């Protein structure tokens, strides 16, 4: 970790939807050394858009990270239950929501992702979610964060791992 940020998190609301779309683009086009495809092209792909299209369905949950110096939004994490007929890249089963996490370039490696993941995981656990899943490319540096946070590699599709983390229910000992 390059440094440590002391920013805060807050629940994401309807006013954050455009920022979540920005963060979805960052999650898909995360490679800083390569210019990503145009934003509209990426976000119009149904396999990508499914992570936010129609946001506000039952179970949709987001957390936003605020920079300590400016209080501006610099990261977000969210989860969403996916129907089996329209699965996301990290789909494992309908009862396990898929997690998406992204941090604005220039703010990565400072603790925002760690804070977002911890808060979103705890929120899910308190809401009775039994597990979270995700998909991450093998060479994405955030893979290390997921591994350190007890996400287990389930299977590989192309260059990406599908990972899952079991959550114990509120008041239950971790299993």
pLDDT (tens digit, 9 = 90+) per residue, 62-113?
A: 999 998 888 899 999 999 999 999 999 999 999 999 999 999 988 888 889 9
- Return d(Cα 58, Cα 80) in angstroms, integer: 9
Label residue 55 by pLDDT band (50, 70, 90): very high
Residue 2: the pLDDT is: 37
- Return d(Cα 96, Cα 29) in angstroms, integer: 24
**Residue with the two structure tokens 């590989």:** 156
Locate 109 and state its tokens.
Answer: 């490696």
Residue 108: the pLDDT is: 84
With beta carbons less than 8 A apart as the criterion, state whether 167 and 130 touch: yes
pTM: 0.89
Half-sphere exposure of 170 (CA within 13 A, CB side): 8
Residue 6: the pLDDT is: 74
Q: Report CA 142 to chain centroid distance, whole Å.
A: 10
pLDDT per position as a tens digit, 99-150: 999 999 888 888 899 999 999 999 999 999 999 999 999 999 999 999 999 9
């Amino acid at each position: 970790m390059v440094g440590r940020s002391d920013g805060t998190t807050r629940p994401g609301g309807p006013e954050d939807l455009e920022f979540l779309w920005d963060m979805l683009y960052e999650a898909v086009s995360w490679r800083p050394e390569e210019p990503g495809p145009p934003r509209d092209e990426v976000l119009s792909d149904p396999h990508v858009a499914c992570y936010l299209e129609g946001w506000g369905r039952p179970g949709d949950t987001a957390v936003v990270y605020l920079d300590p110096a400016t209080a501006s939004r610099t990261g977000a994490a969210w989860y969403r239950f996916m129907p089996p007929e329209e699965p996301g890249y990290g789909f494992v089963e309908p009862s396990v929501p898929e997690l998406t996490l992204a941090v604005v370039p220039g703010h990565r490696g400072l603790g925002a992702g760690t804070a977002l993941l911890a808060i979103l995981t705890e929120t899910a656990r308190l809401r009775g979610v039994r597990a979270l899943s995700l998909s991450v490319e093998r060479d994405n540096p955030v893979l290390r964060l997921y591994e350190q946070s007890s996400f287990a590699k389930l299977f590989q599709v192309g260059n990406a791992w599908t990972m899952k983390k079991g959550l114990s229910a509120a008041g239950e000992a971790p299993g």
